């Protein structure tokens, strides 16, 4: 009887050790990092208005707002290969920031709201279990393997420029862009990433709309919901803000 009891206790302990070691292999996080700072930046919990100054390598977590002050620039590293850079007088709200890493794969679910100012981002190709959504006052965008910028400096309109890659841009009342695309495009399969999408389209259903913006294109969304897609020219991307970002991109590439 004692022998059976000892064997049972040994089995239970072995199972607990195994489960503990398996759990330890899963890394979860809801934090990013202020990876670069020129000038001054602040953060505050999204439901409060008590701003505190940030310094390089400070953490930024889900539910916090971050803003840059005058003559200041900052970079938020949300996850590996996922960073956004903030121009002066820019405010973003980290609505969702969830990361999970296992030995087999990586999962992440990130949603950022740009309240004012301008951001630039270079996003590496994402896996099937990774998502990055940018929200603004007038529209949202789903990002995958893209170089883009969002301009919210004008209170009456938002501009999103795709420098490289493709971006889905859609009205804020679309909760699931994948489902919307599938239902409104019939036989066309969605796929991840969006390699099967060849032509831009504009679909309106009960006030909902979606555009696929390609490399060197700009979409302008006005406060009354009107959209306009145009081609970018050299002047649009030949400015100090873009040049600074490209310089940082090249420096980071050398580090890698």
Q: How far apart are CA 77 and CA 82, in angstroms?
A: 6
pTM of the predicted protein model: 0.79
Can you give the length of the chain in residues?
A: 256
pLDDT value for 188:
36
| Residue 164 Cα to chain centre, angstroms | 16
Please report the pLDDT score of residue 200 as a whole number. 46
Question: Which domains does the chain carry?
Answer: 27-255 (2.60.120.1440)
Cβ atoms of 165 and 147 within 8 Å: the answer is: yes
Query: CB of 145 within 8 A of CB of 128?
Result: no
Q: Average pLDDT of the chain?
A: 82
The predicted model gives 74-83 an average pLDDT of 89
DSSP 208: B
């Amino acid at each position: 009887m004692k022998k059976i009891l000892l064997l049972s206790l040994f089995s239970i302990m072995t199972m607990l050790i195994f489960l503990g070691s398996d759990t330890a292999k899963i890394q979860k996080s809801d934090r990013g990092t202020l990876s670069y700072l020129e000038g001054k930046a602040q953060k505050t919990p999204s439901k409060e208005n008590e701003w505190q100054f940030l310094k390089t390598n400070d953490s930024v977590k889900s539910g916090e707002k971050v803003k840059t002050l005058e003559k200041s620039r900052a970079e938020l590293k949300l996850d590996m290969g996922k960073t956004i850079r903030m121009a002066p007088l820019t405010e973003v709200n980290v609505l969702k920031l969830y990361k999970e890493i296992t030995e087999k794969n990586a999962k992440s679910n990130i949603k950022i709201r740009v309240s004012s100012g301008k951001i630039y981002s270079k996003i590496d190709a994402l896996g099937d279990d990774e998502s990055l959504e940018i929200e603004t006052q007038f529209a949202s965008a789903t990002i995958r393997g893209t170089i883009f910028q969002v301009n919210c400096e004008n209170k009456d309109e938002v501009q999103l420029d795709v420098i490289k890659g493709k971006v889905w841009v859609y009205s804020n009342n679309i909760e699931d862009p994948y489902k919307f695309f599938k239902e409104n495009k019939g036989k066309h399969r969605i796929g991840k990433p969006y390699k099967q999408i060849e032509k831009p389209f504009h679909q309106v259903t009960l006030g909902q709309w979606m555009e696929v913006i390609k490399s060197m294109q700009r979409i302008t969304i006005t406060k009354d919901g009107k959209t306009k897609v145009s081609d970018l020219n050299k002047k649009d991307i030949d400015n100090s803000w873009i040049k600074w970002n490209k310089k940082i991109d090249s420096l980071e590439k050398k580090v890698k």
